[in-house]
Amino acid sequence: MALHFERAEYARRQAKARAALREQGLDALLVFSQESHYWLTGFDSSECVFFQVGVLTADDRPYVLLTRRPDLAQARLTSVIEDVRLWFDKEGVDPARDLRAILAELGLRGARVGIELNTYGLTPVNWDRVRKALARFCRLEDAFNLIRYLRVIKSPAEHAYVRRAAALCDDALDALLATAKPGVVEGQVGAAMAAAIFRGGGDWASDLGVLGVGERVLLARASAGAQTLGQRDQLTAEYSASVMRYHVCPMRTVAIGASDPR
């Protein structure tokens, strides 16, 4: 298995989450957020646009994952989840009905059930499916912050990954400074930075970085089309290094060529 933490750490996290559920008077949590899946179980998947939900009860029953068939191997390999249920993506299928069947099996009819609403993992279409399928079945309450607040306090093992990511950011900055010269295309700078991160054992980052030069120097989002660094220019880099999904994201500004006396 490709677990990035000891099983005991996942057990501690789930215990904290279950305690938080009981404290809020909730019987279970519907986990739609990818980062919550990852934190609770290790499940590492980027398929957040498809219907994918975890059920964490306030008692000690095992975590249940409902996902598509293509993600079964991902769940088996990257997580501590043992109870994986599948829905098959074909015309007319409503996976929210499968979710309702799981909740019924767990005895949650009429229960207070938290749900993570403020997440990319629950599209409006899927939320509408869940809302209709669970109407008059249980009481849904927004509990997006429940796991999010628990994740704020990092464990020593998490700190180690963050520190490694920070060191890779420094390596990437060294590569930027060595590459960024007048006449160089910004893509060459980005390639040198990415190479430094990957050589150091980093992973793909979860978001595009931003390299801005010339008239794009103040853009806060990535834009298509490579720019060439001028003789007197400014390069703004907002980038990130990721180690086991733990990111460090600095922003640096570099003067290219002679600086303006002002």
Q: What angle do CA 196, 202, 206 make, to 5 degrees?
A: 110
| Count of other CB atoms within 10 angstroms of residue 247 | 19
List % helix, strand, coil for the chain (3-state, nearest 5).
40, 20, 40
185-241 pLDDT per residue, tens: 988 999 999 999 999 999 999 887 888 887 777 777 777 878 888 888 888 899 999
Please give the Cα distance from 212 to 7 (Å, whole number). 42
The per-residue pLDDT for 29 is: 98
pLDDT digits (tens, 9 = 90+) for 76-105: 999 999 999 999 988 889 999 999 999 999
Tokens coding 59: 């008692």
Cα dist from 131 to 64, 124, 225, whole Å: 19, 10, 42
For the chain, report the end-to-end CA distance as a whole number of angstroms: 57
For the chain, the structural domain boundaries read 7-152, 156-256
Do 156-256 and 7-152 fall under one CATH topology? no
Q: What is the DSSP pairing of strand 64-68 with strand 233-238?
A: unpaired
- What CA–CA distance (Å, rounded) separates 26 from 112? 5
Q: What is the pTM of this model?
A: 0.89
**Cβ proximity of 236 and 251 under 8 Å:** yes
The 10 Å Cβ neighbour count of residue 80 is 19
Strand pairing report for 233-238 and 210-212:
antiparallel
Q: Out of 3.30.1360.70, 3.40.640.10, 3.90.230.10, 3.40.1280.10, select the CATH number for domain 156-256.
A: 3.90.230.10
Asked if CATH classification 3.30.2130.10 holds for the domain at 7-152, the reply, yes or no, is no
Pick from 254, 216, 220, 249: which is nearest to 235 by CA? 254
User: Hey, what amino acid is at 110?
Assistant: G
| Residue with token string 């060191």 | 167
The total of other beta-carbon atoms located within 10 Å of residue 93's CB is 12
**Rounded distance between C-alpha atoms, residue 22 and residue 14, angstroms:** 12
Write out pLDDT tens, residues 23-60: 999 999 999 999 999 999 999 987 667 899 999 999 99
- Residue identified by tokens 């989450």 is 17
Q: What is the pLDDT of residues 108-159, one digit of tens each?
A: 999 999 999 999 899 999 999 999 999 999 999 999 999 999 999 999 999 9
What single letter denotes the amino acid at residue 81?
Answer: I
Say yes or no to pLDDT of 1 above 70.
no
